[in-house]
Structure 1
Amino acid sequence: MNNDESEFAIRRICLKKTIGEERETRILPLQYCDPKIVYKTTNIECLPDPSYAENATCFVKAVNWNKAVAQMDCDLILPLSNISVRVELLKKSYTNRYHPFLINVTVNMCDVIAKRNFIPYGTIFWKILKNYTNVNHSCPFTGHIFARNFFLDENLFPTFPLGFYLMIISVFENYVDRPPKLAGAIKYYFQVKEMEAKKRRKPLPRYN
């Protein structure tokens, strides 16, 4: 192996994506590359308004050290015809309390789905709905609603600082003649962490 090949062998392509910076690709020595960051689901709570939904279940299923997925189900009692979604992000501090962090936005999802609104977080949320739920069509929504194998794809978001987070997703039904009413909320807990390498199992001892 010549010097050029040796130099190439200790390099890799690093993708850097941070808050407030554009995505860029750099070829750097291996020791300077950022480790892979993953957003691992840790817990989920479903809090529907009983007048809008029933039979709600939520739970998390572990896949491996770096990934866990959420499963959600509920049956709508009333149709949701004109919904707005508020997404709030909170980060756990050293005092073990969650504090607002970066995101607090409300968007009319029916407008996003109908392509009347192109707010970035609304578009991201719509991608998530299409990939993991049966809420993949235009308004209204009725009957059984579910999500399968849901997790946050780190490629959809800027890289958050390492730590524990809580995302509160509140769903409101909008009315012409009265204020919006909360139909339900989801509390989604996740950890931003460095990817753990797969642990190799030690070979079993061989006996003659």
Structure 2
Amino acid sequence: MATFKSSLLIFLIVFGFAVSGVSCKVEFTNLKCTTLEREFLEFDKCFLKSISRTYKYLSVSTKIHMLPIKSASIRTQVLQRLNGYKPFLFNFTTDACKALSGKVTTRFFFGLIAPYSNLNHSCPYDHDLFVEKLPISFMDEQLTKVLPFPEGDYCIKNVFSHRGKPRAEVSVYASIS
């Protein structure tokens, strides 16, 4: 009888959430692009744009002065805001030239920007790099349905290194509610 009551309680809780239409929403709150070495790279564009209440996007464009890039690495950290930004679940470094064929975690984070960027091939990169008009709706789908994140304020911090030296940093701030 006790298992029936607990099963019924679980069913009612799940059904209640399904009926009430609980949904999460991702919102970009800030974007920071920092050049750590101007002789190597500069940012042409780095902004968030709100076209309407429902259509907002992110754009980042670089001008690379030392082409071609034959090897690079990306350190990705996900930070959650709890009395300042603290590490949250993900902190990894990956070979940028192998991001397309990397581990599941690497492919997931690369997949957040891949359809909207020109980073869709392996090294060498002999052109400037960009992420163009990455819509919040795409990020919302990926961060709430594909890999659900708990509600809160987050920062996805990426440090790009070439030949072992950090060259640029891009931090995307978002709120999940």
2:65 alignment partner in structure 1:
77
Instruction: Kindly report which structure 2 residues correspond to 1:27-42, keeping only aligned pairs within 5 A, or say none.
Output: 29=15, 31-33=16-18, 35-42=22-29
Matches within 5 A, 1:170-181: 170-174=159-163, 180-181=164-165
Runs of 4 or more above 6 Å deviation: none
Say what the alpha-carbon RMSD is for the aligned residues: 2.1
- Ranked by relative contact order (alpha carbons within 8 Å, sequence separation 6 or more), the top structure is 2
- Aligned residue for 1:32, secondary structure, equals helix
| 2:86 aligned with 1:99 | yes
Structure-2 residue corresponding to 1:47: 34
The code of the aligned residue for 2:133 comes to N
Amino acid at match of 1:140: P
Aligned mates of 2:43, 2:154 — CA distance in 1: 27
* CA–CA separation in structure 2 for the residues paired with 1:154 and 1:132: 15
* 1:57 to partner: Cα distance: 2.1
Match of 1:148 among 106, 109, 132: 132
What are the superposed Cα offsets for residues 67-105 of structure 1, whole Å, 9 maximum, x if unpaired? 631111111001221111111011112x3x111111101
Match of 1:185 among 166, 169, 177: 169
Which position in structure 1 is the counterpart of 2:78?
Answer: 89
Distance of aligned partners of 1:84 and 1:71 in 2 relative to their CA distance in 1, 3 Å threshold: same
Cα displacement (A) at 1:139:
0.8
Amino acid at match of 1:87: T
- Aligned partner of 1:15 in structure 2 is none
Aligned twin of 1:163: 152
Deviation at 1:112, TM superposition (A): 3.1
Structure 2 length-normalised TM = 0.77
User: Matched residue pairs, number?
Assistant: 155
Moved more, 150-159 or 100-109: 150-159
Structure whose CA Rg is larger: 1
Q: What is the TM-score normalised by the length of structure 1?
A: 0.66
Identity of aligned residues (%): 23
Distance 1:171 1:128 in 2: 17
Name the structure where helix makes up a greater proportion of residues.
2
Q: Does 1:128 align with 2:112?
A: yes
**For residues 132 and 62 of structure 1, do their structure 2 counterparts lie closer, same or farther at Cα, with a shift above 3 Å needed?**
same
Give 1:186 deviation, angstroms: 0.1
Provide the rounded CA distance (Å) in 1 between the counterparts of 2:162 and 2:150: 33
d(CA) in 2 for partners of 1:104 and 1:86?
Answer: 7
TM-aligned CA distance change 1:129 to 1:137, over 3 Å: farther
Query: Where do 5+ consecutive residues of structure 2 fail to align?
Result: 1-13
